[in-house]
Amino acid sequence: MSIATAEFGTSGPEAGARSEDYLWTLNFGPQHPATHTTLRIVLKLDGERVVDAMPEMGYLHSGFEKLGEHLTFNQYVTVTDRMNYISPMANNVAWHHAVEALLGIELTPRCASIRTIIAELARISDHLLSNGAVGLDTGAFTFFLYAFYQREVIYDIFETLCGARFTNSYTRVGGVSQDFTPLVIEKIRGFLKTFPKTLDDMERLLTRNRIFVDRTKGVGVLTKEEAINRGATGPVARASGVTRDLRKDEPYLAYGDFDFQICCASAGDCYARYLIRMQEMRESLKIVAQAIENLPAGPVNVGIDQRTALPTKQQVYTTIEGTISHFELSMSNRGFEVPHEESYAAIEAPNGELGFYIVGDGGETAYRARCRPPSLLHFALFPHLIRGHTLSDVVAVLGSLNIIAAELDR
Amino acid sequence: MPYTLPSVTDVLAGLTNRFGSLETSLNRGQTRVVVPEPLSFDVLAWLKNQGFDLLIDVTCVDYLEYKAAKHRYGLVYLLASTATNQRLTVRVFVDDPDPTVKSVVSLWEAANWLEREVWDLFGIRFTSHPDLRRLVMPDEFTAHPLRKDYPLQGRGERHNFPVITRDHS
Amino acid sequence: MAVVHSVSSDRLELPENVVIGRLDLLANWCRKNSLWPMPFATACCGIELMATGAAKHDLARFGAEVFRFSPRQCDLMIVAGRVVMKMLPVLQRIWQQMHEPKWCISMGACASTGGVFDTYAVVQGIDRFIPVDMYVPGCPPRPEQLIQAIIDLQDKIQREGTINGREFDTAGRQLRKRALVEIANPLSIDASRNPNLQRELAAAADAVAGRN
């Protein structure tokens, strides 16, 4: 890429003291291995020290929100898969959580538990990749391979569950596409047994590794006030001491029933963010372990009276309500009733608060489907975090923020 | 929804005392306040002082094809409080030909990119924004693609590139 | 590789330790087993590309694991994920920065056709703007599919490759097509709706006339 000379709105604290002639401009991305995806940052350097950074985005803007106005509520879930593509299940849950908030649907207990389990498994796989990427960028390739192997195990669970290993499109309005089978439960139990050991191994590899600690401790410090003022959520905010986690604060799905802790740190640096993610994986395991052993019986989709989820085959063949409901849901111009309303609902996605602001206009598609992406606000933090640090810290900070371009740009 | 959000009636009462009566509504536990455009900055600044310290989102809806809509654009400010977990939605309506709102970047740094995104995709101008440029679309792009009068497939911009064949490379 | 040991003919007498082969074959054999991919990973497919290189699927088994992020060092570009308007100039520039001989794999539905993203911002298939050798279907493709695509590309390099890159010469391809027209009976082809074919047929007729 060509090196663009960019206009800088604000200069770093050091810029005033030195002559501008010493500074030179380095273009970082949009195609660079450490950006993982398509981020671009124009850095202003004084030697090896970053004086200022200007993030540039939009290299993966694909019109998700416009597409949301043309796809039905059930179709759009396939697109949300491609939003934060390292934890697609969490996006599916977020989208249909928001749709159900608009429609006013209450899930069956079994469905709530199932969604909780898959959202937590998605959180584990997300944290594995984002921590693995921090390791990869700071030179710990083995750690990345450990992390990715465990992701494959989770992929395998999801594939058994719904047939797709990666882009799952699992949830439906008022339910999920497939119920848990005994094989899935068995695989999740197997994962619960083997994963803590691997997690211990991973922690032994990196958590007290001198090089890793030196490269991440004290780098990219975000204070609590700044975190709130700049809209940080999720692990990034919790590493700075913001005790905000929607799983506890607004217990959606079945989170109110389970015993788990919110992980917080006060340092606010890259190392704290790494530790938060490691610890959150253990908490997620606790939730999954409780949920899988106490999985409620009963139907997984909401009943016929709600008119949103397809009835079971038994109901279609034996009851008139089932037949009518099946017919109406299958017809392209019928579908279910959507109120003339607007609502916002969010879940605690692995990256932070992932919410959708949906405007319904009575039709079968959303009039407006706004996604509130955590990555956008976290990427806006970047210049603030990197000022004064060295060029090699850029990758550590970027990795610890876990910015996913597709969610950033949509 | 088993969980209902904490009530914000005391905040609404204070808001009415301070700014006169504003249109409020409640939908599934979410409280919304409609604020006239000239008051928007003052109301948001007051709300920030009342404890809504976290700006969740700034976005916009184009009501061009919406039934019984009085205004063209409706801005949405989603606020939350980290201390009390209250949430509040503030709506500001603006119209063509020059939709303009006062920027809230001086209150929340988070609004910087969110407002740039709204400018990019909807063409709402935010006055006194420090750096109002396009965020996601290329700089040379002229339309505002999330407006309802812009087609989903675009107006052919996506095909407007030079073709590189094997002979060129 | 075709290896001839000690051919005895009236024109050529070889000693025992000399091997004769086509230089093209040798070059192809070297090239196909040392593909250095340039991962142009933009979106979801990029994660599957990482999975392909990671422990379970291990692309190293097929001699194509040396991911290099500098286009100067690579000869295989794997475009993984959708390419949008803002990204396409970058893609074209990186493609032009790569050295010949180079190949391109379009991984996934989005890179090949735009996929589900038939929207204002997404380029509807990168083959509209840069040459593509291999398309991988799937959204995203499984790692096995990508491995299969790389094996197929290796096969293609082995079959079609030439040491001076004649297979990339589009003008040369036109000449080969003319030979096909020449063999066919010109009268049996309906060329009324195809101006290209009409030109070819005229050229073929000229060639036949010249020979006679």
The predicted-structure confidence for A265-311, as pLDDT tens digits, reads as follows 888 889 999 999 999 999 999 999 999 998 888 888 887 777 777 88
Q: How near does any CA of chain C get to the CA of A122, in Å?
A: 14
CA A112, chain centre distance (Å): 19
Q: Which residues of A touch B2 (CB under 8 A)?
A: 106, 251, 256
Rounded to a whole number of angstroms, the distance between the first and last alpha carbons of chain C is: 40
Mean pLDDT of A348-371: 89
Q: Which of A32-46, A181-195, A239-253 has the lowest mean pLDDT?
A: A32-46
SS3 category, A371: strand
Sheet strands (E) in A289-341: none
Out of B153, B157, B169, closest to residue C95 by CB? B169
SS3 category, C27: helix
How far is the C-alpha of A260 from the C-alpha of A250, rounded, in Å? Answer: 14
**Is the domain of C80 the same as that of C180?**
no
**Is the domain of C110 the same as that of C129?**
yes
Q: Tokens 């439960």 belong to which residue?
A: A185
Percent of chain B with pLDDT over 90: 6
SS3 category, C118: coil
* CB-based contact A256 B62, cutoff 8 Å: no
How many residues are there in chain C?
A: 212
Out of C40, C93, C120, closest to residue A66 by CB? C120
The predicted-structure confidence for A175-204, as pLDDT tens digits, reads as follows 888 888 899 999 999 999 999 999 999 899
- Under 8 Å CB-to-CB from A70, ≥6 apart: which residues? A365, B152
Considering the domain boundaries, does residue C16 fall inside one? Answer: no
- Under 8 Å CB-to-CB from C61, ≥6 apart: which residues? none
Query: What secondary structure letter does DSSP report for C186?
Result: G
How far is the C-alpha of A70 from the C-alpha of B21, rounded, in Å? Answer: 37
Q: Class assignment of domain B9-144?
A: alpha beta
C193, burial (CB in 10 Å: exposed 0-12, middle 13-18, buried 19+):
exposed
* CB-based contact C122 A62, cutoff 8 Å: yes
**Is the domain of C109 the same as that of C140?**
yes
Inter-axis angle of helices A109-137 and A141-162, nearest 10? 160
Q: How near does any CA of chain A get to the CA of B28, in Å?
A: 8
Q: Which of B27, B57, B76 to mutate to test the interface with A (most CBs of A within 10 A)?
A: B57
**Is the domain of C97 the same as that of C40?**
yes
CB-based contact, C170 to chain B, within 8 Å: yes
Query: What secondary structure letter does DSSP report for A275?
Result: H
Q: Which of A8-12, A180-184, B131-135, C78-82 has the lowest mean pLDDT?
A: A8-12
**Is the domain of C128 the same as that of C196?**
no
The predicted-structure confidence for B78-115, as pLDDT tens digits, reads as follows 998 888 888 889 999 998 888 889 999 998 888 989 99
The predicted-structure confidence for C144-172, as pLDDT tens digits, reads as follows 888 899 888 888 888 877 777 777 765 55
Domain that includes residue C139, residue range: 29-166
Q: Which of A242, A231, A115 is nearest to A174 (CA)?
A: A115
Q: Which of B108, B107, A133, B129 is nearest to B117 (CA)?
A: B129
Q: Which of C69, C73, C59, C122 is nearest to C102 (CA)?
A: C73
SS3 category, A176: strand
**Is the domain of C50 the same as that of C128?**
yes
Considering the domain boundaries, does residue C9 fall inside one? Answer: no
Chains touching B by CB (3 or more pairs below 8 Å): A, C
Task: Classify strands B23-27 and B30-35 as parallel, antiparallel or unpaired.
Answer: antiparallel
CATH number at residue C45: 3.40.50.12280
pLDDT score of A340 more than 60: yes
Q: What is the pLDDT of residue A187?
A: 92
Q: Pull the structure tokens for residue A5.
A: 């000379």
Alpha-helical (H) ranges within C98-194 are 108-113, 143-160, 170-183
The predicted-structure confidence for C61-103, as pLDDT tens digits, reads as follows 887 877 888 888 888 888 988 888 888 888 888 888 888 788 8
Q: Where are the domains of chain B?
A: 9-144
A28: β partners = A41
**Is the domain of C176 the same as that of C161?**
no
Q: What is the pLDDT of residue B3?
A: 65
* CB-based contact A166 C48, cutoff 8 Å: yes
**Is the domain of C176 the same as that of C130?**
no
Q: What is the pLDDT of residue A93?
A: 92
* CB-based contact A344 B28, cutoff 8 Å: no
Total beta-carbon pairs less than 8 A apart between chain A and chain B: 114
Mean pLDDT of A80-96: 89
Q: Indicate the fold that domain A64-301+336-409 takes in CATH.
A: Cytochrome-c3 Hydrogenase; chain B (1.10.645)
Are A408 and A398 in contact, with CB atoms under 8 Å apart? no
CB-based contact, B1 to chain C, within 8 Å: no
**Is the domain of C159 the same as that of C190?**
no
Are B101 and B119 in contact, with CB atoms under 8 Å apart? no
Q: Pull the structure tokens for residue A395.
A: 């990758």
Average pLDDT along chain C = 77
Average pLDDT along chain B = 85
Q: How near does any CA of chain C get to the CA of B128, in Å?
A: 28
Measured torsion, CA atoms of residues A280, A286, A287, A291, in degrees rounded to the nearest 10: 160
Percent of chain A with pLDDT over 70: 93
Are C68 and C74 in contact, with CB atoms under 8 Å apart? yes
Q: Which of C116, C118, C124, C146 to mutate to test the interface with A (most CBs of A within 10 A)?
A: C116
Q: Which residues of C touch B165 (CB under 8 A)?
A: 131, 170
CB-based contact, A36 to chain C, within 8 Å: yes
Out of A242, A367, A372, closest to residue B66 by CB? A367
* CB-based contact A343 B56, cutoff 8 Å: no
How far is the C-alpha of A352 from the C-alpha of A113, rounded, in Å? Answer: 21
pLDDT score of A112 more than 80: yes
CB-based contact, B68 to chain C, within 8 Å: no
How far is the C-alpha of B152 from the C-alpha of A56, rounded, in Å? Answer: 24
Q: What number of other Cβ atoms are within 10 A of residue B169's Cβ? A: 16
The predicted-structure confidence for A52-69, as pLDDT tens digits, reads as follows 888 888 888 888 888 888
Residue of B nearest to C92 (CA): B164
Out of B138, B155, B165, closest to residue C131 by CB? B165
**Is the domain of C86 the same as that of C187?**
no
Q: What is the pLDDT of residue A314?
A: 83
In total, how many domains does chain C have?
2
Out of B155, B157, B166, closest to residue C85 by CB? B157
**Is the domain of C118 the same as that of C99?**
yes
Considering the domain boundaries, does residue C19 fall inside one? Answer: no
Q: What number of other Cβ atoms are within 10 A of residue A15's Cβ? A: 18
